Amino acid sequence: MTELLFDRGGAVAAEGSDAGVAAHYGNPFAEQRALAAGEAVVAVARGVITITGEDRLLWLHNLTSQSLRMLQPGDSAETLLLSQTGRIEHVIRVIDDGVSLWLLVEPTEAEALLAWLDSMRFMMRVEVSDRTPEFAVVGTLGSPPVDPAAPNDVPLVWHDPWREPVAGGHQYATVIEHPASEWAYREFLIERTRVSALVEVPVAGILALEALRIAAWRPRFTTEVDDKAIPHEFDWMRSSVHLSKGCYRGQETVAKVHNLGHPPRRLVMLHLDGSDSALPDRGAEVRLGEKVVGQVTSVAQHFELGPIALALVKRMTATDAALTVAAEGIAIAAAQEVIVPTDAGMVAPRPKLGLLPPRT
């Protein structure tokens, strides 16, 4: 498959899960500004899966964490496929067009998710298909500059719900104004045969999107999630979990940690000392003195904030602790912004312990 929007001067290829799109076009800070202002688009690497059939909404609703059965044509949502023990296995962006559900996932997720969904059809009236070869995905913080694909006369646009807590969700962050309040990000599908329609549109690379995502405290599957990750650790309850819906795989863990416990780790944003012009790698240790308390999950140079990172740290790491992160053999000072507080969870009071009443 050819690289998307590589017909621009200065395009530098991205790697890893972003392979196939541009990391940048020669000026990452200018690209960030244009993208933040809604004046540019960014090619994003996505797997595209469709679920077609009368039972599509109820079927995916019953399998995943978000309430989906009442989606109307043109509606979009984010949902999680969890393991039996509540660990995050897939993060799924959903659009319904009245005939099909369109699932947008990280390319590294697509094959495994497609196989799993196909194995779970049983007697349900659904068909699952890989549409990645036909459709490209483009992101923007403005309006789509070209008409999105609309196979069933409904434009295929996914509106990121991260901007504010969704109905049925819960926000752990206690800030007065969440940095995502201005996060108007959306992704639209376009037929690959029509990508040339974007030839006059300003473009940004994926590094620009990553910097803005980190500044908005927005978690991402391929960077933040490991095999122990649960939604509570990332404040993902605000956008992708409905706490009042019926049974789904992993629901017991979601409810137990939310009502009676605490997540073992918490996501923080780190403001890094930029005086040495060194950035840590993903996976770099976060330290409190000599003690390792976490690791960096995403890192970027932001056009206004400077060097920033997301990191997962142990829950009880003090919110005012003087942390450091290693980069190129240097211990870089890192100041926290609290995303998930140390007391996140346990929203229901614990029952009081005491002697059983005497029998009568």
pLDDT at 351: 45
- Alpha-carbon distance 161 to 67, whole Å? 13
Reduced to 3 states, what is the DSSP secondary structure of residue 116? helix
Residue 220 has pLDDT above 70, yes or no: yes
Task: Inform me whether the pLDDT recorded for 116 exceeds 60.
Answer: yes
Mean pLDDT of 111-117: 97
Predicted local distance difference test score (pLDDT) of residue 359: 40
Instruction: Assign residue 161 a region (left: φ > 0; alpha: ψ between -120 and 50; beta: otherwise).
Output: alpha
Query: 110 phi and psi, to 5 degrees?
Result: -60, -50
Q: pLDDT-based confidence at 2, cuts 50/70/90?
A: low
Q: What is the mean pLDDT of the chain?
A: 93
Element (H, E) at 333: strand 330-338
Q: How confident is the model at residue 138 (pLDDT cuts 50, 70, 90)?
A: very high
| 288-345 per-position pLDDT tens digit | 999 999 999 999 999 999 999 999 999 999 999 999 999 888 999 999 999 999 999 8
Is the per-residue pLDDT at 99 higher than 50?
yes
Higher pLDDT, 208 or 1: 208
- CB-based contacts of 314-321 (< 8 A; 24+ apart in sequence): 314/264, 314/265, 314/266, 315/262, 315/263, 315/264, 315/265, 315/266, 315/342, 315/344, 316/342, 317/266, 317/288, 317/293, 317/342, 318/288, 321/288, 321/293
Give me the amino acid identity at 314: K
User: pLDDT confidence of 3, banded at 50, 70, 90?
Assistant: confident
The class level of CATH for 264-338 reads mainly beta
Q: Which CATH architecture has domain 12-240?
A: 2-Layer Sandwich (3.30)
Q: Which residue has the tokens 């976060």?
A: 286
Whether the Cβ atoms of residue 138 and residue 204 lie closer than 8 Å to each other: no
pLDDT at 271 over 80: yes
Q: Looking at residue 346, what is its pLDDT?
A: 79
Q: What is the pLDDT of residue 277?
A: 83
Residue ranges of domains in the chain:
12-240, 264-338
pLDDT, greater one: 238 or 356 = 238
